[in-house]
Amino acid sequence: MSLEGMNAVVTGAASGIGRACAVRLAQDGADVAILDINSDGLEGTRRLIEETGNRCLPVTVDLLDRTAIRSAFDTVKEELGHVAILHNNAGGSLREGIRTFPKSDYDQWDYMLTLNLRQATDCTREVINEMIAAKYGRIINTSSEMAFRTNFGMTDYTTAKAGLLAFTRSLANEVGRYQVTANAVCPGVTRTPLAEAMPKAHMEQSLATIPLGRWAEPEEIAHAVSFFASPGASYVTGEYLLVAGGRTMH
Ligand SMILES: NC(=O)c1ccc[n+]([C@@H]2O[C@H](COP(=O)([O-])OP(=O)(O)OC[C@H]3O[C@@H](n4cnc5c(N)ncnc54)[C@H](O)[C@@H]3O)[C@@H](O)[C@H]2O)c1
C-alpha cells in the first residue's frame, strides 16, 4: 500500500539507518522531512530522496535542544503540512571513553539518555495531538537489540533503548483508540558510520554470535520500518521487531 499523499519525518536521517529509512519511505510514496544535526549528510540524503520524485525537506537541528525541536517541527508543518508518520531514529552509542556505570558521571548519563530516549519523546510530542485529531498516525522508534542484551560499559545506552521500548508500548496503549500506532524496530549490528567507528575487534567478535553470519545493511532495517509505516499495518501496535540476524537467540 502506498504512502502517497502522506508526510513523514525521519530523525537522524543524515546517514546510516535513518538515511536508508527516509529514502525507503520516499520510495513508498511519502514526502519526507529529514532532521539531523549534520547538514552535509542531510544534503546527501536529500539528493537520494529527490531521485524518487517525492519532496524532501532537510532541517538541521540539534535534537538535544527542546526549543530547536519545536522550531524544526514548526518548519515541517509550515512547509509540508500534517505529519502522518514519525520515525524517531536519531541516537547512538558512541561517547568519549567507554565507562561502566560506577565510573560514569552525570554528564555522560544525561547525554546518552537524552540522545537515545528523551528527544524521541520530545519529537513525538510535536505531532501526537495532530495525529489523534486526524485519527491516523504512525510512530516508529529505532530501539536496538541492546534493549535485550548487556554490554560492558554501555549501561546508559541499553537503559535508554529499553526505555524507548517502554515508551513505545505505553504510548501505543494510550493512543490506540485514535487509530494511531506506535511500534519499534530493534536493529542488530548494522553497517553504518556508527558501527564502523566501533573497535574493530569488538565488531569482528560480534560476527561469531550472529546466525546469519554478517552485519545488517541499513536497507534491511528500512524494510521493517516501511512495514510499520504502511497503512496495511493498521492492526499492529505496541510491537517491536528485532532485525538482528537471529543474534538474540544466543
Ligand atoms: N548501527 C548499528 O549497529 C545500530 C544497532 C542498533 C541500533 N542502532 C540505532 O540506530 C539509530 C541510527 O544509528 P546509525 O547506526 O544509523 O548511526 P549513524 O551515526 O549513521 O546515524 C545517527 C544519526 O543521528 C544524528 N545525530 C546524532 N546526534 C544528534 C543530535 N544531537 N541532533 C540531531 N541528530 C543527531 C547523526 O548526525 C547521524 O546522522 C540510532 O538510534 C542507533 O542507536 C544502530
What are the residue boundaries of the structural domains of the chain, listed by start?
7-190+218-241
181-197 per-position pLDDT tens digit: 999 999 999 999 878 88
What is the separation of C-alpha 69 from the centre of its chain, rounded to a whole number of angstroms?
15
pTM score, whole prediction: 0.97
Superfamily of domain 7-190+218-241: NAD(P)-binding Rossmann-like Domain (3.40.50.720)
Q: Are 12 and 137 in contact (CB under 8 A)?
A: no
User: How far does residue 133's CA lie from ligand 1's centre (Å)?
Assistant: 31
136-155 per-position pLDDT tens digit: 999 999 999 999 998 889 99
pLDDT for 96: 72
CA distance 126 to 148: 29
Q: C-alpha cell of 62? A: 540539534
pLDDT bin (cut points 50, 70, 90) of residue 1 is low
Mean confidence (pLDDT) of the chain: 96
pLDDT bin (cut points 50, 70, 90) of residue 130 is very high
Residue 45 has pLDDT above 80, yes or no: yes
For 8, 208, 238, the CA distances from 60, given in Å and listed in that order, are 16, 38, 30
For 94, 111, 123, 162, 199, the CA distances from 64, given in Å and listed in that order, are 15, 8, 11, 19, 26
Residues with CB under 6 A from ligand 1: 12, 14-18, 36-38, 41, 61-64, 89-93, 115, 142, 144, 187, 189-190, 192-195
